[in-house]
Amino acid sequence: MPNITIDGKQVEFKSGQTVIQAAMNAGIDIPHFCYHPKLSISGNCRVCLVEIEKMPKLAIACSTLATEGMVVHTNSSKTLDARNAVMEFILINHPLDCPICDEAGECKLQDYAFAHSRGESRFEEIKNRKEKRVQLGPRIKFDAERCISCSRCIRFSDEIAKANQLTFTNRGDKVTITTFPGESFDNPYTLNTVDICPVGALTNNDFRFKSRVWEMSSTNSVCIGCSRGCNIEIWVRNNEILRLTPRQNEEVNSFWMCDNGRLNTFKFVNDESRIDGCYLRKDGQLVKSDWAETLEVTSKSLKEFKSNEIAFVASPFATLEDNFVLERFAKQINSNNIFSAKHILTGDQDDILIREDKTPNSFGLSILGIKNDISKLYDLIDNKNVKALFIMEEDLVGLNSEWEKVLTKLELIIVLATNKNGTTQFADIIFPAATYAEKHGTFVNFQGRVQRIRPAIATEELDRSLDGMNKSRWDKFGTKFDRWMQGKKYDAKPSWKIIALLDSYFNNKLKFKMAEEVFNEISKSNEALKNLDYDVIGDLGVTINSEVFQKV
Amino acid sequence: MATKKRLKDLTFLEKLYIPVILKGLVLTLKTMFKPKVTMEYPEVKFEPPASYRGRPVLVQEKNGVERCVACGLCSRVCPALAIEVQAAETELEKERYPEKFEINMLRCIFCGFCEEVCPEEAIVMSKDYELVFQDRDSAIFGKDKLLIPVEQLQDRIDFLRKFKK
Amino acid sequence: MNIWEVIIISLIKILIVVVLMLLTVAYLVYFERKISAWIQNRKGPNRVGWLGLLQPFADVFKLLLKEDIVPEKANKTLHTLAPFIALFVAFATYAVIPIGPSIEIFGYKVNLVVADVNIGVLYVLALTSLGVYGITFAGWSSGSKYSLLGGIRSSAQMISYEVSMGFSIAGVLLLSQSLSPTKIVEAQYGWMWNAILQPIGFITFVVSAFAETNRLPFDLPEAEPELVGGYHTEYSSFKFAGFFLAEYANMIIASMMITTLYLGGYQIPYIDKLGLSQTLTVILQVGAFLFKTAFMLFFFMWVRWSIPRFRYDQLMNLGWKVMFPLSLLNIVWVALLIMIFGF
């Protein structure tokens, strides 16, 4: 492998790599705005200028190919002078409105102004005024004054989102970004430009001014919007999810996620329709009840039926752990009736990220051997072969309103649900299930990649400190008397835990205390997940053996 | 055993300590007849100088709008986590305003960091030191109690402009 | 005079003395606070009543309304007994102090002293020694190390200074040739005050009196930085008030004793030469006694707010190595006076 020398350090590189990439691999940070590892090289911000020996002038590290024997200085006085000059130039027309800018705290310009700039402006003239609060697309606001014209967003929509919608107009210091005439910046991936924008020029309508970034905690998790399972971070303040951002995972989603996943997969968690505590139907009305009584009533009611009169509905929205414990529970009471439903939105698929299958764990169900022949269940109920139904995190009525007809034929409906929906209306007993943001667990995406989710929001049974959840500064020092600590905590438990509790009224063989124990049990009994545990899966997940993958 | 020679050996008179004791007694006796410095509080109130750090307040411009843009720096810098800010969008030119601005006066330690960090000169320390509460909730001051017209705070603002770099 | 008359007169005198003493103590606290305030450039209590004159009653009510806390590990009996011992001793001492010569009221010849005991001085010494028990009991029975240390210090201190106190008094006794306070006062006719005749004895007695009453600069038993509240750390409410009362009562006794033994008691020099009526003379004399006592009380407070506390070893050194030899020297001095000048 060829070598170059950066700041006196011998660095190996692959041929074809640029200086900035070689430096990055060696852990040397060269400041950059327009360079992005997944986008084409543009070289217009000039802040990555470095001194290369035997070159007459400074060169930009992002587009200079590394060659054998090259000697690069990223901290020489010449480099620093050039960098400071570039920073000063960029800042000439930048409004310095960090106090009102949402990017503050995660802004590259802010960081570099702090770390590399000369700290004072010599510019005494009046700054350029440009358009502010431009609605570029349905989900994005653009502030032209803050823009430093790095063109990352333009290159992203051309190269990654494959939608030529943005362009520069005007020249010199008047340059600004706009959509092509008649176009709206509305491709399904627009919000990624907010993430890659090195300044606060592009802001997310949904998150705008909701919170400063340093007030939130972030938790690594997985998006539940489709079977891609994009890696995400959940940003939480006051026990409320405020935004989701993609997390880099080259095997799954690279740096990106779709707008639908980003905006529509977290709001139900803090929605008013959340089920808070257990409910029992008494005299035709659903009445709030406590856990002990509900479990007692549930077990008694279930015991009134023969085992093949009871059917179970597993869920591709629930984790492997939930479905596994449900399956075990069904076996314990000798019922073979376990079904699951498919959620396919035909046609809503592209070759970037979005998948037709709108559930995060349908592959996981296949691994566990749970069939997705829900229509069979329909017939069983219709013929009165099944009299009691145990539904876990599935909305049958929402799937198809036909179900309303057969659900009324049942004598007992037990529902584990996160939110009130069409199915919970018919339920005799409702258990509050924890959402994906409130529990540990694993999903398997369509590629067969096993990925972990972690609790980002505390429920009544979770404590941020004791359960090792990520904490913001507010969480760390808050007390129960502080108004900013009074975010709603729901009385909900993970589905596997509810079923395990219920099992203690039957055979009491599912003595699981933690999701990790459940997973270890799965990996013991399941060929596909052999030798896996939570530590091995880690933050980025593990793809299961391709032979097993083919079999499934 | 050789006695150590001290830096200053006391004379016999000094060793008696009586002159010194008498000196002390005379001093206290004199003090008894000096004018008193006591301020009888509820009737006579202390008027603090501009450098005084009383409770932090928000500056209200002449048009009735607060200067604050809800940047949250005061909240971040506050060592006691007394300040909570919730921003929201406004049609005004400043784009952003505090929908909620609460200072928990039970947490506040009157350090003045919020004032020091404020980029808009929007939060300043007032001269108000009379802070009495009957319960925890009334100790949390919202915008209604925090907003003070700029004229009343001119003293402090002038002081800050003179000394705050 | 039959026995009943004696009893009734005595009871009246006791009542008057006790009530007066309680009032005095209450106002002593008031003055203590005022004087400390003045010395520190403050105004002092001035809210309750005119010039704050009702402050003592507010203080008393506050104390009485507080919860009486007895520590779990305390010896309950002694814990309760201790303040009463302290109080009893303080009250009982008043009996022998003459505040004026005998007068005639409604035809009765009344001595302005509750009990004109011929060994009054001895009685006072004996009773003040008993006071140690109150403090020691309080310290030991509280079941707290601070109290215990305070109690031990206090008893050690009182025993040490009692020695020099006794020897100082010996000088007075030599001159007056009597143990009766009344006689001692009468012996100081004119300017023959013992304070003038035997200044060394006067100083040692005053210093010892400070130590005996546990007043600053000798309030080691309750040195706050080290011992919290000393022997009364664990006391609250009425029992604490008892100690408080006893301390100030002791202060009054000490002042009265100093007045009686060294400052001529109720004597005003050469008042009989002025040819005033007998009643006026008595009134003036009582006034003189009260004035002298008041001055001594003021002196007590003045010193308290001027001079810092001694260290414990310094206190013991002073007691045994300075005060004790000085008081012995005083006896020699008095003996010389008697031998040479034939007093």
The residue type at A225: G
A66 phi, psi to nearest 5 deg: -75, 135
Residue showing tokens 């008359």: C5
Phi-psi region of A316 (alpha: psi -120 to 50; beta: other; left: phi over 0): alpha
Please give the tally of structural domains in chain C: 1
Do the beta carbons of residue C270 and residue C193 sit within 8 Å?
no
In this complex, do B40 and C43 lie within 8 Å of one another by their Cβ atoms? yes
Dump pLDDT digits (tens) for A261-293. Answer: 999 999 999 999 999 999 999 988 999 999 999
Residue C300 lies in a domain: yes
Give the Cβ contact number of residue C323 at 10 Å: 24
Q: In sequence order, what are the residues at sequence separation of 6 or more whose Cβ sits closer than 8 angstroms to the Cβ of residue B123?
A: B56, B57, B58, B59, B68, B74, B114, B115
At residue A496, the pLDDT reads 95
Q: Which amino acid is at C228?
A: V
Q: Which of A222, A212, A270 is nearest to A472 (CA)?
A: A212
Please give the CATH number for the structural domain made up of A278-551: 3.40.50.740
Cα A227 from Cα A76, distance rounded (Å): 49
* Cβ separation B28–C305 shorter than 8 A: yes
Our CA-based measurement puts residue A234 at a distance from the nearest CA of chain B, in whole angstroms, of 20
What CATH class is the domain A3-92?
alpha beta
Query: Given an 8 Å threshold on Cβ–Cβ distance, is B119 in contact with A99?
Result: yes
pLDDT in tens, A418-446: 999 999 999 999 999 999 999 999 999 99
Nearest CA in chain B to C203: B18
Give the nearest partner residue to C41 out of B21, B24, B34, using CB atoms.
B34
Mark whether B and C touch (3+ CB pairs within 8 Å). Answer: yes
Q: What's the gap in Å between the CA of B140 and the closest CA on chain C? A: 32
Q: Is the peptide bond before B119 cis (omega within 30 degrees of 0)?
A: no
| Per-residue pLDDT reduced to its tens digit, C167-184 | 888 888 888 888 887 788
Q: In a mutagenesis test of the C interface, which of B20, B29, B32, B44 is the best target, namely the one with the most C β-carbons within 10 Å?
A: B32
State pLDDT tens for residues A351-366.
999 999 999 999 999 9
Residue C218 lies in a domain: yes
Structure-block tokens of residue A246: 């993609």
Whether the per-residue pLDDT at A457 is higher than 90: the answer is: yes
- Residue C176 inside a domain? The answer is yes
Best A100, A143, A205 residue to mutate vs chain B (most B CBs within 10 Å): A100
| Contact flag A99-B87 (C-beta cutoff 8 Å) | no
* Bridge partners, A414 (sequence order): A390, A429
pLDDT band of residue C17 (cuts 50, 70, 90) is confident
Torsion angles phi and psi, residue A493, rounded to 5: -130, 155
Shortest Cα–Cα distance, B89 to chain A (Å): 7
Distance (Å, rounded) from C-alpha C182 to C-alpha C169? 15
Q: Do chains C and A touch (3 or more CB pairs under 8 A)?
A: no
Q: A99-117 b/e with 16+ CB inside 10 Å = b? A: bbbbbbbebbbbebbeebb
Please name the member of B29, B34, B40 whose beta carbon is closest to the beta carbon of C302. B29
- Give all domains of chain B, ordered by start, each with its CATH number: 56-163 (3.30.70.3270)
Q: How does strand A441-444 pair with strand A449-453?
A: antiparallel
**Residues in A touching B140 (Cβ below 8 Å):** 483
**Token duo for residue A210:** 């909701």
The residue among A96, A131, A483 with the most chain B CBs within 10 A of its CB, best to mutate, is A483
C42 touches chain B (CB under 8 A): yes
What is the Cα–Cα distance from B19 to A456, expressed in whole angstroms? Answer: 75
Range in A188-197, A209-218, B20-29, C170-179 with the lowest mean pLDDT: C170-179
Look at residue C225 in the predicted model and tell me its pLDDT.
65
CA angle, C170 then C174 then C179, to 5°: 75
Subunit contact A132:B88, Cβ cutoff 8 A: no
Measure in Å the smallest separation between the Cα of B19 and chain C Cα atoms.
13
Mean pLDDT of A526-541: 90
C159 domain residue, yes or no: yes
What's the confidence (pLDDT) of residue C109?
A: 66
- For chain B, the residues whose C-beta falls within 8 A of a C-beta of chain C are 21, 24-25, 27-29, 31-38, 40
Q: Out of C42, C46, C306, whose CB is closest to B28?
A: C306
Are A204 and A367 in contact, with CB atoms under 8 Å apart? no
Comparing alpha-carbon positions, the chain C residue that sits nearest to B34 is C41
3-state SS, residue C172: helix
Inter-chain Cβ pairs, chain A and chain B, closer than 8 A: 49
pLDDT band for position A341 (cuts 50, 70, 90)? very high
Query: Is the pLDDT reported for residue C129 higher than 90?
Result: no
Q: Does domain A98-107+122-270 have CATH number 3.90.1150.10?
A: no
Residue C104: per-residue pLDDT = 66
Helix, strand, coil distribution of chain A in percent, nearest 5: 30, 20, 50
Cβ within 8 Å, pair B24-C35? no
Burial letters for A473-485: b for 16+ Cβ neighbours within 10 Å, e otherwise?
ebbeebeeebbbe
- For residue C134, what are the domain limits? 62-341
CB contact, 8 Å: A484 with chain B? yes
> Is pLDDT at B1 greater than 60 in this prediction?
no
Query: Which residue, among C33, C41, C203, C295, would best test binding to B if mutated, counting the most B CBs under 10 Å from its CB?
Result: C41
Residue A512 has pLDDT above 60, yes or no: yes
Q: How far is B23 from chain A (nearest CA, A)?
A: 54
Neighbour-count burial for B59-95, b at 16+ CB within 10 Å, e otherwise: bbeeeeebbbbbbbbbbbebeebbbbbbbeebeeebb
Q: Is residue A100 helix, strand or coil?
A: helix
CA distances from C39 to A466, B32, C43 (A): 57, 5, 9
Residues A155-175, mean pLDDT to the nearest whole number: 92
Contacts 24+ apart (CB under 8 A), C159-163: C159/C132, C160/C211, C160/C316, C160/C319, C160/C320, C161/C207, C161/C208, C161/C211, C161/C212, C161/C218, C161/C319, C161/C323, C162/C125, C162/C128, C162/C129, C162/C208, C162/C212, C163/C319, C163/C324, C163/C327
A479 to chain B, any CB pair closer than 8 A? The answer is: no
Residue C107 has a pLDDT of 64
Residue C17 lies in a domain: no
Q: Which of A99, A209, A474 sits opposite B88 (nearest CB)?
A: A209
Q: Which residue has the higher pLDDT, A20 or C245?
A: A20
CB nearest to A99's CB, from B69, B81, B84: B69
Res A523 pLDDT > 60? yes
* Per-residue pLDDT tens digits for A285-338: 999 999 999 999 999 999 999 988 999 999 999 999 999 999 999 998 888 899
Residue of A nearest to B85 (CA): A211
Query: What residue in C sits closest to B21 (Cα-Cα)?
Result: C307
List residues bridging with A135 in a β-sheet: A141
Residue C103 lies in a domain: yes
Confidence band, pLDDT 50/70/90 cuts, at residue B3? low
Question: Which residues make beta-bridge pairs with A552?
Answer: none
pLDDT tens for each residue of B120-161: 899 999 999 999 999 999 999 999 999 999 999 999 999 999
- Asked if residue B14 has pLDDT above 80, the reply is no
CA dist., res. B133 & res. C249, Å (int): 42
Q: Is A222 helix (H, G, I), strand (E, B) or coil?
A: strand
Question: Do β-strands C103-105 and B123-125 pair in parallel, antiparallel, or remain unpaired?
Answer: unpaired
Question: Does residue C43 sit at the B interface (CB-CB below 8 Å)?
Answer: yes
Residue C96: both structure tokens together: 């022998």
- DSSP structural state of residue C50: G
Encoded tokens for A435: 């959402």
With bands split at pLDDT 50, 70 and 90, how would you rate the model's confidence at C1? low
User: Using alpha carbons only, what angle is made at residue A118 by residues A115 and A123, rounded to the nearest 5 degrees?
Assistant: 130
For the stretch A180-203, pLDDT in tens is: 998 899 999 999 999 999 999 999
Q: What's the confidence (pLDDT) of residue B10? A: 76
How many Cβ contacts (< 8 angstroms) between chains B and C?
36
Q: Where are the alpha helices (DSSP H) in chain B?
A: 12-16, 18-32, 73-77, 113-117, 143-146, 154-163
**Chain B residues near residue A214 by CB distance under 8 angstroms:** 76
Residues belonging to chain C: 343
Residue B27 and residue C306: Cβ atoms within 8 Å?
A: yes
The ranges assigned to domains in chain A are 3-92, 98-107+122-270, 278-551
Give residues with Cβ within 8 angstroms of C59, minimum separation 6. C26, C29
Distance from CA of A214 to the nearest CA of B (A): 8
pLDDT above 90: residue A469 = yes
Tokens of A415: 């529902």
For CA atoms A454, A459, A465, A466, give the dihedral sign: negative
Average pLDDT, chain A: 92
Residues of chain B in contact with residue C40, where contact means CB-CB under 8 angstroms, are 31
- Helix (H) or strand (E) run with residue A530 in it: none
- Nearest by CB to C43, from B21, B27, B38: name it: B38
Q: Which amino acid would we find at residue B60?
A: Q
Q: How many CA atoms lie within 13 A of A73 on its CB side?
A: 15
Q: Cβ contact (<8 Å) for C39 and B32?
A: yes
DSSP helix, strand, coil percent of chain B (3-state; round to 5): 30, 20, 50
Q: State the pTM of this model.
A: 0.79
- Tell whether C305 is within 8 A of chain B (Cβ): yes
Map residue A361 onto helix, strand or coil. coil
Contacting subunits of A (3+ beta carbon pairs below 8 A): B
Say whether the A–B interface has 3 or more Cβ pairs within 8 Å.
Answer: yes
**3-state class (DSSP) for residue A71:** strand
- Interface pTM (ipTM) of the complex? 0.84
Do B147 and B107 touch, CB atoms closer than 8 A? no
Asked if A131 is an interface residue toward chain B (Cβ–Cβ < 8 A), one would say no
Answer yes or no: is C111 within a domain.
yes
Tens of pLDDT, residues C275-332: 777 778 878 888 888 888 889 999 988 888 888 888 888 888 888 888 888 889 988 9
Q: Enumerate the residues of chain B whose CB falls inside 8 A of the CB of residue C42.
A: 36-38
Burial grade of A51 (CB within 10 A; 0-12, 13-18, 19 or more): buried
The label of the residue with tokens 């080290």 reads: C226
Q: Do C41 and B36 touch (CB under 8 A)?
A: yes
C321/B contact by beta carbon, under 8 A: no
Contacts of B25 in chain C (CB under 8 A): 302-303, 306-307
Query: Which chains contact C through at least 3 pairs of Cβ atoms less than 8 Å apart?
Result: B
